[in-house]
Amino acid sequence: MEETANTTNKNKTTTILKVITGILCVAVIVLGALLYLESKNKKETVVSLTNVTNDKENLINELNVLKQEYSTLQTNNDSINMALLQEQEKIELLLEKVKKTEAGNLQKIRTYEKELGTLRSIMKNYIGQIDSLSTVNQQLVSENIQIKEQVQEITRKHDEVSQQAEELTTKVQEGSVIKARGMTVQGMTKKDKDTNRASRTGHIKTCITLIENSIAQHGMKTVYIRVKGPDGIVLTTNENNLFDVGGEQIIFSAAREIDYQGAEIELCVFYSFGDVKVAKGVYDVTAYLDGKSIGTSQLRLK
């Protein structure tokens, strides 16, 4: 009996040991599995955290690149320039947000990536607008150059026409000047006989022929003569005998008014010495019409 009891107890002990051993084996297996899973999760967490950190750094780099690209966009359109400036400010704000965001905050990183995509799309739109404006500006510049060339050509032709008109006016003015020929000066006695002796001379007769000129102004004209004595002084019967030559009032010796109608006309002007003693020597005589000299001659009295 005692031996049977011992055997029974021994069997119970063995069974218990087997159970404990089994439990320990299971525990070891479970613990090993838990340790494996924990190690795997840690590795995956590290990999995930690394990926998110890389995403943040990439996002910052892309924002900086986009910022630089925006700064290179240039246009003469003030409205677009203002809009570009606003977009650059948005990039700056987003860049600050990304920098302040924790590397593990995947949700915000993804949100900011979407905002980056929106900013890129907006930039492409502005690039298209700027290209269109550039094309239009080039067309306008080309048209402006053509217009300038046309204006220059018109101006050149206008200058040519003006010069031709001026030359024609000058020719007409020159052609309308009444010219003269055959001017003669003769000493005359008081009885109107020719003389070359000073003691017998009572007046000087100056004769000249006005040439035919159909384009000259017709009407009453005054022919003036200036007689310079041997002493070089202009002889006159009145100090108020003045007429205009080149804008200057000068004294004349005698004058005669005629009606000029374009045909050739011969006329004579007389200067009388009166009671003045006539000096011997050379007398220079000049005739004027319309403020211009039309002839000169000399008279020598003995």
Average pLDDT of the chain is 81
Is residue 135 within 8 A of residue 93, CB to CB? The reply is no
Taking residues 246-252, what's their average pLDDT? Answer: 93
Taking residues 269-275, what's their average pLDDT? Answer: 92
Q: Domain segments of the chain: what residues? A: 2-119, 180-301
Lowest-pLDDT range, 23-32, 205-214, 229-238, 264-273?
23-32
Which pTM does this prediction carry?
0.48
When pLDDT is cut at 50, 70 and 90, the band that residue 48 belongs to is very low
Taking residues 54-61, what's their average pLDDT? Answer: 83
Class of 180-301 per CATH?
mainly beta
Taking residues 168-188, what's their average pLDDT? Answer: 79
Q: Residue 270 burial by CB count (10 A; 0-12/13-18/19+): exposed, middle or buried?
A: middle
**What distance in Å separates the CA atoms of residue 267 and residue 274, rounded to the nearest whole number?**
22
* Nearest residue to 203 (alpha-carbon basis) of 187, 191, 184, 226: 187
Residue 39: is its pLDDT beyond 70? no
When pLDDT is cut at 50, 70 and 90, the band that residue 260 belongs to is very high
Lowest-pLDDT range, 3-7, 111-115, 146-150?
3-7
Residue 63: is its pLDDT beyond 70? yes
Residue 121: is its pLDDT beyond 70? yes
**What distance in Å separates the CA atoms of residue 204 and residue 181, rounded to the nearest whole number?**
18
Taking residues 113-135, what's their average pLDDT? Answer: 78
Taking residues 136-140, what's their average pLDDT? Answer: 71
